[in-house]
A and B are shown apart, each in its own frame.
Chain A
Amino acid sequence: GDSVTQMEGPVTLSEEAFLTINCTYTATGYPSLFWYVQYPGEGLQLLLKATKADDKGSNKGFEATYRKETTSFHLEKGSVQVSDSAVYFCALSPGGNYQLIWGAGTKLIIKP
C-alpha cells in the first residue's frame, strides 16, 4: 500500500545552518504531497504542499519539490532559526477522497 518514509530525528542544527529533511514515498497514481509542522504544545498546521510532479511548494522560507522520478519530497530551508524548532511531518494524499497517509515525523532542534 501507499506509505511515507521520513528521516529519523532528532535533527539538531545551529542557527543559520542549511536544513534538509528527507521524505520519500510509495504510491500508485499521482498523489499530492504535503509538509505539516507541529510547534511545541500545538496541533499540526500545513506548511506547504505540491499537487503534481515538478511542483515546488514554499512557505516561510521552506521549500520542497515534488520529484516523481525519485519519489521524494525533501524539505529544505537555507537558514534556520531557533523558532523553526518543531516536529515536521511529511504526508501524501492518494487522491479522490483526500485521506492522508503520514510519515512518522522528524523532530528538529535549532540551537542558538
Chain B
Amino acid sequence: NAGVTQTPKFQVLKTGQSMTLQCAQDMNHEYMSWYRQDPGMGLRLIHYSVGAGITDQGEVPNGYNVSRSTTEDFPLRLLSAAPSQTSVYFCASRARDTQYFGPGTRLTVL
C-alpha cells in the first residue's frame, strides 16, 4: 500500500503559468481533498470530492480547478499561477473520520 502519493515534491512557476498537481491513493477511499498550508494559518480546504464524478468547493477555491474521473486520482489544476498561491499543498483521502495525507507539494510562484 503506497497510501496517498503526490507529485511533484517541489515546483517553481512564473506568474501566469498553469500546472497540475497530481494526487493518487490506492486505499479505495471515496472522499479526497486538497488543502493548502500557509504559516500560522493551519490547513485550508481548497476542493474536495465525495466520489468519482463529484467535486465541490472548500474554503479557498478561487484560482484552482479539480476533477475526479476515477476513485484513485484527484488532480489539482492551477489555471494562472499568482504569487499568492505560493504554499505547500496537501492531498488527503479519508476513511470514515480519519484522514490520510500525502507528503505535500511545495509550490513557489515568482
**Residues in chain A within 8 A of chain B (CB atoms):** 32, 34, 36, 41-46, 49, 51, 89, 93, 98-100, 102-105
Contact flags B68-110 to A (C-beta < 8 A → 1, else 0): 0000000000000000000000101010111111111000000
Contact check: which of A44, A98, A103 meets B90 at CB < 8 Å?
A44
Interface residues on B, range: 20 to 34
Residue of A32, A46, A98, A102 near B43 (CB, 8 A) is A102
Q: Which of A43, A44, A98 contacts B97 (CB 8 A)?
A: A98
Complex formed: what's the CA distance from A59 to B71 in Å?
31
Question: How far apart are A35's CB and chain B's nearest CB, in angstroms?
Answer: 12
Q: Is B64 an interface residue (CB 8 A)?
A: no
Q: Is the CB of B42 within 8 A of A46?
A: no
User: Is the beta-carbon distance between B101 and A98 smaller than 8 angstroms?
Assistant: no
User: By the criterion CB–CB under 8 Å, are A104 and B42 in contact?
Assistant: yes
**B53 lies within 8 A of chain A by Cβ:** no
Residues of B whose CB lies within 8 Å of any CB of A are 4, 31, 40-45, 48, 90, 92, 94, 96-104
In the complex, residue of chain A having the shortest beta-carbon distance to the beta carbon of B98: A46
B90 and A43 form a contact (CB under 8 A):
yes
B-side interface mostly: strand
Contact check, B98 vs A49: say whether CB atoms are below 8 A apart: yes
**What are 28 A-B interface contacts by the 8 Å CB criterion?**
A32-B97, A36-B99, A42-B103, A43-B4, A43-B90, A43-B92, A43-B101, A43-B102, A43-B104, A44-B90, A44-B92, A44-B101, A45-B101, A46-B98, A46-B99, A49-B97, A49-B98, A51-B97, A93-B97, A98-B31, A98-B96, A100-B43, A100-B99, A102-B42, A102-B44, A103-B42, A104-B41, A104-B42
Q: Whole-angstrom distance from the CB of B20 to the nearest CB of chain A?
A: 19
**Nearest Cβ distance between residue B103 and chain A, in whole angstroms?**
5
B43 surroundings in chain A (CB, below 8 A): 44, 89, 100, 102
Q: Are B42 and A105 in contact (CB under 8 A)?
A: yes
Q: Is B94 within 8 A of A98, CB to CB?
A: yes
- Minimum Cβ distance to chain A for residue B109 (Å): 21
